Amino acid sequence: MPELPEVENVRATLAELVIGRTIEQVTIGVPKMIHGVDSQQFAYNLIGEKFVDIRRRGKFLLLDTTNYTILSHLRMEGKYRLTLDEEEKSKHTHVVFQLDGGQQLRYLDVRKFGTMEMVPLGQEETTRAIKKLGPEPFGEDFQLDVFAKALSRSTRGIKNVLLDQKAVVGLGNIYVDEVCYVAKVNPIKPSNELNQTEVKRLYDATRSILTEAVKLGGSTIRTYVNSQGKIGNYQEKLVVYGHKGEPCPQCGTEIEKIQYHGRGTHYCPACQPLLRK
């Protein structure tokens, strides 16, 4: 699933392609992807609308048109592509925005898990999905004391707390493993047992890792590409994720992979020992 660095790169590249373009028609092949309004109403509302901004909140893309905001979640395999009208459609193309100038913005999704929800322009904070999100890792609201308080309230393993998008948004399975490694915190350690030093290391690692991952275009593990079809490069920087059985670059201990609440979880047992209170 695309995490914050990947979604941010999709946002930036998509903005370059469609801001200022007028929507002439919308074709929806999989109506279940459309939320908030009926799929036919969704398509009708967008006729004549112009893309005015492309924003991001957590892992959601916010596509602003003249009068509406579309909350788009890519889920596992969602992608946007700008094509010429005559270009042959992939069988995985499920939503087509016909634009002025003989081009189409196409949404492709192999698994059909992605969603689009329409709300009045700028009212995304009224939706259930956005209301529950925590602070952005690069925003002023992401303060160490607030982060520490959020972590102290849960007895769950720190990995699960970081994944639920309430303490901070944007982290998924890849970057949580990397953050915990850099912070020297065992990913299954109960969140409320973290000491101040560990919390500070997690806070700093979240910001530094996500910042670098955004700059490098995100991580292409399987099929991720941005809206211009370019792969990411941060996968070359991953230290533990995907490196089961390889030596830890810090101590040489073999990286382990376990299943934790149904998720593959990578860590160094020497650098990230499970020390309990």
Active site residues: 2-3, 59, 263
Q: What is the spatial distance between Cα 268 and Cα 94, in angstroms, rounded to a whole number? A: 41
Residue 85, burial from CB neighbour count under 10 angstroms (0-12, 13-18, 19+): exposed
Q: Is 92 annotated as a binding residue?
A: yes
261 is in an annotated binding site: no
Question: Distance between CA atoms of 107 and 94, rounded to whole angstroms?
Answer: 6
254-263 long-range contacts (CB < 8 A, ≥24 apart) are 260/157, 260/159, 260/160, 260/187, 260/188, 261/157, 261/159, 261/160, 263/159, 263/163, 263/173
SS (H, E, C) 52-115: EEEEEECCEEEEEECCEEEEEECCCCCEEEEEECCCCCCCCEEEEEEECCCEEEEEECCCCCCE
β strands within the chain, DSSP E: 23-28, 34-35, 51-57, 60-65, 68-73, 79-84, 93-99, 103-108, 115-120, 256-260, 263-267
- Which residues are annotated binding-site positions for DNA? 92, 111
- Which residues are annotated binding-site positions? 92, 111
